[in-house]
Amino acid sequence: MGGLIALVVILILIVMVLLSCIKIVPQAHAYVVERLGAYQQTWSVGLHLKVPFIDKVAKRVVLKEQVVDFAPQPVITKDNVTMRIDTVVFFQITDPKLFAYGVENPIMAIENLTATTLRNIIGEMELDQTLTSREVINTKMRASLDIATDPWGIKVNRVELKNIIPPAAIQDAMEKQMKAERERREAILRAEGEKKSTVLVAEGQKESAILEAEAEKQSAILRAEAQKEKMIREAEGEAEAILKVQKATADGIRMIREAGADEAVLKIKSLEAFEKAADGQATKIIIPSEIQGLAGLAASAREILK
């Protein structure tokens, strides 16, 4: 009975050992395997078997991009201003073997390397340049860190300055400067607004004067046209009256002729016409010679009739 129990225990131990030799590497991970303390191979994603008691998974490595936020570091600018800057580093492990054997503590190594690199870069820049050159600092730090971390199997994808904290006195001076700058811009904008307003008023007055002159011109033109139209209508009326008078005279002569009047009657009518003409304001009238002989005859006839 005791031998059977021992056999069962041995079988269970064998099964457990065999199961422990089966390893499944998940996605975006890698296992560094050692055999008898020496590097053997790197397992990628999938099912793997190891030799019991000889092979060992020395390090499990995450291949996804990782983010590390480092505490603020004191740095001194070129113009001797001390400030504190904290950085964020985005990195990714590209070689699990180098990551496992390249450096003892990779995260601490990256932190110290970031601090020293940041001090070197900021030490060559003045305060104002530091505050306005974040992108330049990020680019320089990423390039420097990427080169330094290659032997560790790490690729630095991005470096960002999270906060730049200058001393309190510098912050107060910057706030006063910003306030003065805002007041200056406000004064400039107000002056430009007043200038534009003055220009618009002047342009409005100019346009008003132009419109008034144009209106006066149009009014004068209309008055001249009305006067011209009046004169034309008066001339047309006078011409029409003359035509009517001439037509009436012609009609009278025609009727006299149709009535069989002789030449003497016609001459007498002519004299009557000259008599009417003499009633006007003309001071001199020229009478044809053939009518002059009848003038005396007509006068004699009027005396007899009286």
Number of domains, the chain:
4
**Taking a C-beta distance cutoff of 8 angstroms, is the pair 70, 93 a contact?**
no
Does residue 298 register a pLDDT over 50? no
Q: Tokens 């060992």 correspond to what residue? A: 56
Does residue 167 register a pLDDT over 70? yes
Three-state SS annotation for 175-212: HHHHHHHHHHHHHHHHHHHHHHHHHHHHHHHHHHHHHH
Measure the CA–CA gap between 193 and 181, rounded to whole angstroms: 18
CATH number at residue 146: 3.30.479.30
103 and 57 fall within a common domain: no
Q: Give strand ranges (E) for 65-119.
A: 66-69, 73-76, 82-93
129 and 176 fall within a common domain: no
pLDDT digits (tens, 9 = 90+) for 233-290: 888 888 787 787 778 777 766 776 666 555 555 555 555 655 554 554 555 555 555 5
46 and 94 fall within a common domain: no
Measure the CA–CA gap between 90 and 160, rounded to whole angstroms: 9
Expressed as residue numbers, the domain containing 94 is 66-166
- Spell out the residues 6+ positions from residue 160 whose beta carbon is closer than 8 angstroms to its own: 87, 88, 90, 138
pLDDT digits (tens, 9 = 90+) for 107-137: 899 999 999 999 999 988 888 888 888 899 9
Does residue 300 register a pLDDT over 70? no
144 and 88 fall within a common domain: yes
- Residue 280 located in a structural domain: no
Angle, nearest 10°, between helix axes 168-258 and 263-278? 140
Does residue 67 register a pLDDT over 90? yes
Task: Tell me which DSSP letter residue 124 carries.
Answer: T
159 and 180 fall within a common domain: no
Measure the CA–CA gap between 117 and 183, rounded to whole angstroms: 39
Measure the CA–CA gap between 91 and 69, rounded to whole angstroms: 11
**Taking a C-beta distance cutoff of 8 angstroms, is the pair 140, 124 a contact?**
no
Single out the residue of 245, 252, 293, 246 nearest to residue 271, CA to CA. Answer: 293
Distance of CA 140 to the CA centre of its chain: 34
